[in-house]
Chains A and B, each alone.
Chain A
Amino acid sequence: MSVEKRDLICIGCPVGCNLTVTLESGSVMKVEGNTCPKGDTYARKEVTNPTRIVTSTVEVVGGSRPFISVKTKNDIPKEKIFECMEEIKKVKVTSPVHIGDVIIENVAGTGISIVSTKNA
């Protein structure tokens, strides 16, 4: 029965609450320091299956600029970030593109799509 305490900073919003997570044999027992439920959710995820939103740009043809900004629609597992970037780098889209349009369906096998965050 190993009890472990981990200190984290919540990245759920710009406040950045200092969180302390108590784990017992790898399972989350308690989360302290959060000032909203998002912090609790984040802490539990971060110590078991950390995820991130990835933002980047994708080449676009026919727009006023050569690239448009994109993001993962939801957070993806942290270890998939670079694989996700590799897929994004291969894509070229054609104007018109609207905010929210799906650019890649299921990026890096995460089940999450890459969507446009810019109109072009």
Chain B
Amino acid sequence: MYDVIIIGAGVTGCSIAREISKYKVSACVVEKEEDVCCGTSKANSAIMHAGFDAAEGSLMARLNVRGSEMIETLATNLEIPFIRNGSLVVCTNEEDLPKLQDLYQRGIANGVKDLVVLNREESVRLEPNLSDQVLGSLYAPTAGIICPFTMTFAFAENASQNGVEFKFNTIVENIHKRNGCYEVKTNHGILETKYVVNAAGVYADVVHNMVSRDKMKITARRGEYCLLDKSAGSHVSKTIFALPGKYGKGVLVAPTVHGNLIIGPTAADIEDKEGTNTTGAGLEELLQKAGNTVKNLPLRQTITSFAGLRAHEDHHEFIIKEAEDSSGFIDAAGMESPGLTSAPAVGEMVVDIIKNTFQMEKKTDYIAVRKGIIHADGLTVEERNELIKRKPEYGNIICRCEMISEGEILDAIHRPLGAKSLDGVKRRVRAGAGRCQAGFCTPKTMEILSRELHIPMEDIVKSGVEAKVVIGKNRAAK
């Protein structure tokens, strides 16, 4: 019997897991994929929003601002790459200029600091590559960019370090309340728990509706992105937004924390909760819209495109509360933008909700820091050589595009909740995330995974149990 079961190991679930791990309770995260960070958390804009966009007085606004405040300390303690690069919401139509003022006022009311409205000249001085149609902008210095993978892994590893269990490839099939506690029926048996936290992303409605009569509806809203080579990474230095519209914040152009340039997302509501495919029309729309706000985008430098699904709830607001007709069942649902930014604050809030009915004792031995994976290429020559003397694997480059060594890949595999797949390695240490898109390093990374995890090459997957990279040894085709 657990005290708390958290459904979903995305950034929301892992943040909650981390917060709960500060207390002397037994907790378990149940995740349907084979790894942490496999849903929305791996395919988003990677933006830490300033908080002016969310409706005044909304939960989104409050948690966004709180998350934005918390992230600096978290980034330091948990070694999450984070840069407070600032953002510009640009206006390209004369009649829309008042909307900049509206956003500004909303931001002030939401508690966002240092906001300022700029004219065209001031905007272009900050960002020379703004398009010729830009008439003015709202500048938010507190906005930032982050690595969403590391953020999720960091929360998860820290939670795991502090005693939280993780069960992967475990799908929740049904949930029953029996004798004051919950029976969570999974494909690997029944788990019993006092509290259930629903952080199931685009499937949060499916999970919620297993328990509550007040039906929830989560719509998967697909967003397509293009990622550009690091040579395009300084095309803009701040995150450039267009004025928000009906479907959300619109297409942005931003540097990533790793030095690439990201363009996206589009917004299309879809039926299929697994519809993470990009579309010809979507990619075209993306590139056209991006050109409205930023000029001379070096689109030929595109290295990949991808799509992610946001969990959109009809009222466009987070649902973070105990189900009214089922005590002990807590939703953390509707986590579309600013879900990533708010995640640290959502963790706090959910734990507070649990505390209302469950007296949890705080741990005295809670480990607050996490050691990240050493980025060997960032060390000085002396530091690196010292490391290689102790661990020669750090002298063997596997991913040539990102200059990632075998040492880093071994760390990614062997640390708590380590990588078991090519994508797992990629999201932890960036091997395969560079301009050749794993063309060079795939066979090498496969060999390392096979050797370290003692599984045959034929069973190495890209991500997910079915995604085997090769079908067998030579001659296996017949």
Which residues of A line the B interface, CB within 8 A?
57, 67, 89
Contact = CB atoms under 8 A, between A and B. Distances in A.
Nearest to A86: B478
B450 to A, nearest CB: 13
B359 interface: no
B475 interface: yes
Interface string B462-478: 00000000000011000
A57 B475 CA distance: 10
A57 B474 CA distance: 9
B295 to A, nearest CB: 45
B59 to A, nearest CB: 58
Contacts of A57: 474
Contacts of A67: 474
A67 B443 CA distance: 15
Contacts of B475: 89
Nearest to B475: A89
A91 to B, nearest CB: 11
Per DSSP, chain A at the interface is strand
B106 to A, nearest CB: 63
Per DSSP, chain B at the interface is loop
B271 to A, nearest CB: 46
B186 to A, nearest CB: 40
Contacts of A89: 474-475
A102 B475 CA distance: 21
A67 B473 CA distance: 11
A67 B474 CA distance: 10
Interface in B437-478: 474-475
A99 to B, nearest CB: 21
A57 B473 CA distance: 12
A78 to B, nearest CB: 20
B255 to A, nearest CB: 41
B329 to A, nearest CB: 54
Contacts of B474: 57, 67, 89
Q: Which 4 pairs from chain A and chain B are nearest by CB?
A: A89-B475, A57-B474, A67-B474, A89-B474
Nearest to A56: B474
4 contacts: A57-B474, A67-B474, A89-B474, A89-B475
A53 B474 CA distance: 20
A63 to B, nearest CB: 15
A89 B474 CA distance: 9
A32 B170 CA distance: 69
Nearest to B478: A89
A67 to B, nearest CB: 7
B76 to A, nearest CB: 45
A89 B477 CA distance: 12
B470 to A, nearest CB: 13
Nearest to A67: B474
A25 B432 CA distance: 60
A88 to B, nearest CB: 9
Nearest to A90: B475
Interface string B108-125: 000000000000000000
A25 to B, nearest CB: 40
